Structure 1
Amino acid sequence: MPKTTKPPPERGFFVAGLIRLCSNHTGSGFTPGGLAKLRVGGGRDSASRPPRGRTIVPLTQRFTPAQVKRIIADYEAGDSARSIAREHGVAPSALLRFLRQQHAAIRQSGVTDEHARRLTSEHAAGATLAELERRHHLSHGAVFRALHRFD
């Protein structure tokens, strides 16, 4: 007995059914006000949910005047922004922005040739990479690149 298959519906009929299914019917009872009442909290509207986590306090309010002077002095004395930021529990980018706001002279990032020569001589004297990283407050990659700069 041969199978009989139903011919596929015409494309226009299928699209019309989809349009009818997905269109906004006026008799459905869903109005913008009614939908707002049905809304579950946690959406994009920040007024509908309590604040999360910590409140953001600008660095100008977080540090005392004595701390600000010490931070600027440490940075200008040669400490890296990364080490100072870690000490005070802030992001290095936020600390650099704060230093710019305080009109501190921002150094170029990276290791200078003089510093690289000092690292090379200390390494030749027997210092390990980890010791150089801790002693000079540099990342592993910065020490490694500095040691291979003059190869």
Structure 2
Amino acid sequence: MSRYSNQPLLLEKLQNLAVSVALETTPQKPVTEATSVPRVHKLDDRLGSETVARIVAEYEAGASSAAIGSLFSLSKKSVVKVLREAGIKVRYPRMTESELRRATMLYNDGCSLVEVGKRLGRDHSTIYKSLKRAGMRLRDTHGRS
């Protein structure tokens, strides 16, 4: 052994470590079957006929698909799917004439489609489609004429 070797001290530290590890370890629990019920992802399996009937009734009463989705903790897309499978014709609310005039005015004043949509409470794609349907020539995406 060299002069810097301190084997008895190292052996004592190793024994102390082994004892502390033995005290801290707990026996592992045996593997058992899962007690929780797996989450069902398929929409048809999650929603009963009563829920589908309530969704259809809400929609026919005039509620939007987004509002129904938040009411039943579903996405808008899921609500539309349920409605179509139930044979309900899905409505797409078009812009009114006054909204179209306001959108045209804002767009001609230099607002982007996104800004116009935010001001009118509509999606920018709805603004785009409505202005195109009205025959308006739109700027390109970089603001050039």
TM category (shorter chain) comes to 0.3 to 0.5
Identify the structure with bigger relative contact order (alpha carbons < 8 Å, sequence gap 6+): 1
TM-score, normalised by the number of residues in structure 1? 0.38
TM-score, normalised by the number of residues in structure 2? 0.40
